[in-house]
Chain A
Amino acid sequence: GAGVSQSPSNKVTEKGKDVELRCDPISGHTALYWYRQSLGQGLEFLIYFQGNSAPDKSGLPSDRFSAERTGGSVSTLTIQRTQQEDSAVYLCASSRAMGEAFFGQGTRLTVV
């Protein structure tokens, strides 16, 4: 596709439920990043992938958060047993090895 695509664009879920957020990077981009941004806050790094491996998972807030990337393309961020503090915009970005990162428009997650 022309840009980074994230789905769904909005997700409302009940506390305790699991959610899956999807990111389709730009074709050919080897690196993929996940960030989250709470209301009025800066971007918090979660994890990044180089190909299918994740050299840096240091930003994942807890073991309820996990991410995978398959085929060097699509990535899924899974949040288990969601909590209200997980409410945020989850942003995905992709880049070539030495290029700038292109961001998607994000998934707005609301846990009620």
Chain B
Amino acid sequence: DAKTTQPTSMDCAEGRAANLPCNHSTISGNEYVYWYRQIHSQGPQYIIHGLKNNETNEMASLIITEDRKSSTLILPHATLRDTAVYYCIAALLYTGTASKLTFGTGTRLQVTL
């Protein structure tokens, strides 16, 4: 699996967009980009994933660069409940089987009033 690099921590004001970057310069053509978050003392929560195209769901948007070497997770209107550690994962997808998810150290996002 490709290694991902994320900033250690970020701050965001409540109500503003939180933009969390991730570098995955060695990503291969069949590796997806997954984002998870972990709120204190809870199990990780899936947010979104994508391969090439930008993706949006009710939680966030995922913007993947054309060369796929980096991506950005966007939380459009951050709230205090979005304070968490956010993990970006590049995972190889085998046809018909699941992806092994290797978590790095993630970005600790602190949303403030």
Contact = CB atoms under 8 A, between A and B. Distances in A.
A98 B99 CA distance: 7
A65 interface: no
B105 interface: yes
Contacts, number: 57
Interface residues of B, number: 22
B100 interface: yes
Main secondary structure of the interface of B (DSSP, over half): loop
Given A42-B103, A42-B104, A100-B49, A105 B43 contact: yes
Majority SS at the chain A contact face = strand
B96 A43 contact: no
Interface of B: 34, 36, 38, 42-46, 49, 87, 93, 96-106
Interface of A: 4, 30-31, 33, 35, 42-43, 45, 48, 50, 55-56, 91, 93, 95-98, 100-106
